[in-house]
Amino acid sequence: MSASSLLLHRNLFSFTFSSANTILTKPYFATSIKSMEEAQHNLPSTDSSISESVINRNYPKPITAPPPPISKDIELNRATEASSKSILFNLTRDHILYEDEWLMAVNKPKGIYCESVLSSAPQIIVDSQLNEFHLANRLDRDTSGVMLITKSHKVAAKLVKVFTEHKVRKSYIALCIGSSSTPNWSRITVKSGHGRSKHGAWRVYGASDVGRVLPGGSFVRDMETTFEVVSANGEKTKLCEEERVIVVEEGEQELSCDGDGEKDDVVVVVRAFPRSGRTHQIRLHCQYLGIPIRGDVKYHGLYEWRGRRFEGHELHAECLSLDHPVTGDSMVVRAPLPCWAAAGDG
């Protein structure tokens, strides 16, 4: 495939999203990521400067802002602290949410790396002779909640397929800080692109940019999350049957998330249902919606607020629903909510 056809191929298809009060039609990139990679690999090598120039001129532009400069030092301090805590961490029976002979679900604490949870798992399991423990899903360092650990290679392979085919229903809960006013929606779905910018930071891209080449040779991938407002300023929100749908496009800007960290800010607790599994997906979409997660300094969340400094973002993996990889039975695993989720106003 030539460079020109590679760049034009993305405009061949379209699709339509509809809801009770929103109908949006946007261009859609229908070629698989694999074919894109093959196309890039097969670009003519006789004139690499021309090929590189063509690609460079057509890098998609990210929608959301890059991390603020202050985030680098804060994230480094948080990582150092988490490393120290993770070295000393030991999984206990109190962390176990579910267990059978094939797998177990644990409630990962905030500020602990997944690898430390996995490495300590054999210590609390009596019949762990196989020593074939694997993480079925991963959570960010500061994200707490449900994490699955399998006890054999075969079960791990089955769960990888289940997650890859998006047959697991996941729900998260997050405490966000918006500016000035509460969201004008109670339920919303955001469809966008996802990828790394030239500076290496994860960013939101336009939905029609899915499949396009990014600096470094990676590609924009699809990303979709549905959000529901649980409460605003401590008051429960009644969900409407209507669902708003936003399809993010290049040239748009993220919704306003400017706030001074004082009385004008609105505390919003949201429940998130990611329909894809991209890195930092919920955090990125919260930033785009103008309600960054409290403490999430990398994505413009307030880390100092009302006289208190937050040591990590407030995002919790609340529930996993799936068919058991061996028995086929439906299973739902829930983790207890952290205090900030129950209180609603921190």
Q: Which of 140, 209, 222, 265 is catalytic?
A: 140
Range ranked top by mean pLDDT from 113-117, 199-203, 249-253 = 113-117
Quick one: pLDDT band at residue 193, thresholds 50, 70, 90?
very high
Using the predicted structure, report yes or no on whether residue 45 has a pLDDT greater than 80. no
Write out the CATH class of domain 89-165+318-343. alpha beta
Instruction: Map residue 339 onto helix, strand or coil.
Output: helix
* 265 labelled catalytic: no
Instruction: Specify the range with the lowest mean pLDDT, choosing from 8-12, 61-65, 121-125, 222-226.
Output: 8-12
Q: Contact 280/139 with Cβ under 8 angstroms?
A: no
Quick one: pLDDT band at residue 227, thresholds 50, 70, 90?
very high
Fill in the DSSP letter of residue 219: B
Instruction: Map residue 210 onto helix, strand or coil.
Output: coil
Q: Contact 176/286 with Cβ under 8 angstroms?
A: yes
What average pLDDT score do residues 299-316 get? 93
HSE-CB for 3 with a 13 A CA cutoff = 16
Q: Contact 318/337 with Cβ under 8 angstroms?
A: yes
Q: Determine the Cα angle at 333 with ends 187 and 283, to 5°.
A: 45
Instruction: Specify the range with the lowest mean pLDDT, choosing from 175-184, 247-256, 299-308.
Output: 247-256
What does the pLDDT look like over 113-168, one tens digit per residue?
999 999 998 888 766 566 789 999 999 999 999 999 999 999 999 999 999 888 99
**Sequence-ordered list of residues with C-beta below 8 angstroms from that of 109, at least 6 positions apart, any chain:** 89, 95, 144
Helix (H) or strand (E) holding 287: helix 281-288
Instruction: Map residue 170 onto helix, strand or coil.
Output: strand
Helix (H) or strand (E) holding 161: helix 153-164
For the chain, give every domain's residue range: 3-73+172-313, 89-165+318-343
Range ranked top by mean pLDDT from 2-11, 145-154, 334-343 = 145-154
* Residue type (1 letter), 9: H
217: region left, alpha or beta (phi > 0 left; psi from -120 to 50 alpha): left
The b-or-e profile of 250-272 (16+ CB within 10 A means b, else e) is eeeebeebebeeeeebbbbbbbb
Higher pLDDT, 130 or 325: 325
